[in-house]
Amino acid sequence: MATGEVAAGGSDRLTLSGVITGIVAASSGLIFGYDIGISGGVTTMVPFLKEFFPNVLRKASEAKTDMYCVYNSQVLTAFTSSLYMAGFASSLLASRLIAALGRKNIIVLGGCSFLAGAAINGAATNITMLILGRMLLGFGVGFTNQATPVYLSEVAPAKWRGAFNTGFQFFIGTGVLIAGCINYASAKLSWGWRLCLGLAIVPATTMVIGGLIISDTPSSLVERGKIEKARKALIKIRGNDSNIDAELTDLTKNSDAAKASQEPFKTVFERQYRPHLVMAIAIPFFQQVTGINIIAFYAPVLFQSIGFGNDPALMAAIILGLVTLASIMVSTGVVDRFGRRFLFIVGGIQMFICQVAIALVLAATVGVSGTNPISRSYALLLLFLMCVYTAGFGWSWGPLSWLIPSEIFPVKLRPTGQSISVAVHFAVTFVLSQTFLAMLCHFRYGIFIFYAVWIAIMTIFIALFLLETKGIPMDSINGLWESHWYWRRFAQGKLPKNSK
C-alpha cells in the first residue's frame, strides 16, 4: 500500500482511548445546547420578565391577547440573539487561532469565555449585564463550534467519522434537554432564572477540564512542528497500528505543503475550491432556515403563544428535547451505513410535511387573529407534529450540518473552511432569532409555510449537488468532485485525487 493511501485512511480500528477522546471533545456541545434550551424558558419566567421586560408581562396579562404577538419585543429577542452576533465575530477570529494554538486549546479558551459569561448572567442586575454575559457566551460558543467538529473529524477513523461527529450534536441535544428540565424545575422560584442562567458554569467547567485532559489532534500537532507529540497522539487514538509511521509521514508532507501555500482566506476563493466553499456556506444557511433553532430557542414561548400555559409549555419543551436526543442517537448508528445524502433527503421530506401540517392546524384553530382559544386535542396534535419535525432534524440536518463542512476541505483549508461555515451559521442564526417573534406576529401561522418552502429548496439542493462522503478518507474526498455532473467543471484537472 502506498504511503498516501495508508495515511489518508489511517486505521479503521476503534480503540477505547480514541472513543474516550472523541466523547470528551464532543461534550463541548453541552454549552451550546444548554444555552439554546435555557434562554427560551427563562424568557417566559414571570420574575425575569418583571425585572427586565415589564412591558412584555403587561401585554401577556391583557384580557384579549393576540397569541402570535404577545412576546414581540426587540429588546427581549436581543437577549437571545446577541450571543449569535458575538459567535459570528469569534468564529472568524478562531480560524487563525486554531492554526496557531491548536484545536484543543481553542476548545479550552471557548470554555473559559463561556464560564465568565455564565457568571455575569447569573448575577445580572440590568439588561446591560445580561447582554454582556450573552456576548461572552457567544465568544465561547463561536470558538468551540469552530474547533470541535474539526477535532472530531481529524481524530476519527474514516469508517467511523460520521458517528464521531454526530457526538457533537448529541451533546448539543443533551444540553437542550438538561436546560429544559432545569427550566421546568425552577420556574416557580423567584430566583429561578438566576439559577438557570448561572448553572451554565457547570457544562463550561466540564468542558475546560475535558479540554485540558485530551491531547490535540495529530494534524494540529504536526502543523505546529510537534512531531513526537503527534506520533504519541496517533498511537493513543489508533492503537499500536503498523500504519502509524506512514500516516505521520503523510501528515508531515501535507503540513509542509500547506505552509508553502498562499494565504488560506485567498486560496479558498479560488475556482477549484468553489464546490467546497458553496457547501460551507449553503449547508449551515439551510440548517438554520429549517426553523429548528427558532423552535428550540423559543419552544416555551411558542407553546405559550398557542395556548399551552406556562408549565405545560415548559414540559412540552422537555418532550422536544427527549425526541431530539433519541433521533441524534439514531443518526449516530446509521450515518456511516446509509450515508449523508440519504439522511439529508429523508429528514428534509419529513420536516417539510410537518411544517405544512403545523401551519394548517394553526390556521384551523388559532386562526389569523390569534385570539381564538385552542383545544387540548389540537394542542397535543401540534406537539406531536413538532416532535416528528424535530426527529427529522435530529437524524439529518442537525448533526450532518456540522459534519460535512469539517470533512470536505483539504488540510490546508480545513480551519478556514470551518470558520466560514460557523460564521454563516451564527450570522443566519442571529438574523432569524432577532426577527422570529416579529415574524410570528406578522406572518401568523404562515411562518411555518415560510420555513417549509426553504426546507423544500434545500432538500432539492442536496439531491442535486451534495457528494456522498461516507467512508471516504478525508484527504481523498477532493477527487470525488471530478465525478459530479456539475462540480467537475470546477475541479477537473485541478484537484488530484489525493490533493492536500
Q: Which residues contact 493 (CB under 8 A, 6 or more apart)?
A: none
331: number of CA atoms within 13 Å, CB side?
37
Task: List the grid coordinates of 46.
Answer: 414571570
Share of the chain above pLDDT 90, in %: 19
Range 196-217 average pLDDT: 89
Range 90-107 average pLDDT: 83
Residue 5: which pLDDT band, with cuts at 50, 70 and 90? very low
Cα 14 to the center of its chain, rounded Å: 25
Residue 10: which pLDDT band, with cuts at 50, 70 and 90? very low
Range 32-36 average pLDDT: 85
Q: Which of 324-333, 460-469, 490-499 has the lowest mean pLDDT?
A: 490-499
> Pick from 388, 329, 379, 378: which is nearest to 355 by CA?
388
Range 65-71 average pLDDT: 61
To the nearest 10°, the Cα dihedral for 354, 360, 366, 369? 120
To the nearest 10°, the Cα dihedral for 123, 125, 129, 130? 80
pLDDT in tens, 228-256: 888 888 888 877 665 777 778 777 876 77
Gap between the Cα atoms of 327 and 173, Å rounded: 10
Task: State the Cα angle at 272 between 269 and 274, rounded to 5°.
Answer: 55
Cβ burial, residue 55 (10 Å; 0-12/13-18/19+): exposed
Tell the residue number behind the cell numbers 463561536, with chain if given.
Answer: 142
> Pick from 405, 88, 136, 430: which is nearest to 293 by CA?
430
What integer pLDDT is reported at residue 407 of this predicted model?
Answer: 84
Phi and psi at 289, nearest 5°, equal: -80, 10
Q: pTM, whole model, 2 decimals?
A: 0.75
pLDDT higher than threshold 60 for residue 13: yes
What integer pLDDT is reported at residue 7 of this predicted model?
Answer: 37
pLDDT in tens, 473-492: 777 777 788 888 899 888 75
Residue 308: which pLDDT band, with cuts at 50, 70 and 90? low
Residue 65 per-residue DSSP state: -
227: number of CA atoms within 13 Å, CB side?
10
pLDDT in tens, 390-401: 999 989 998 888
Residue 5 per-residue DSSP state: H
Cβ–Cβ < 8 Å for 375, 475: no
pLDDT higher than threshold 50 for residue 329: yes
> Pick from 39, 34, 33, 133: which is nearest to 86 by CA?
133
> Pick from 339, 418, 409: which is nearest to 145 by CA?
418
pLDDT higher than threshold 50 for residue 4: no
What integer pLDDT is reported at residue 1 of this predicted model?
Answer: 31
pLDDT in tens, 430-468: 888 777 777 777 787 888 899 999 999 999 999 999 988
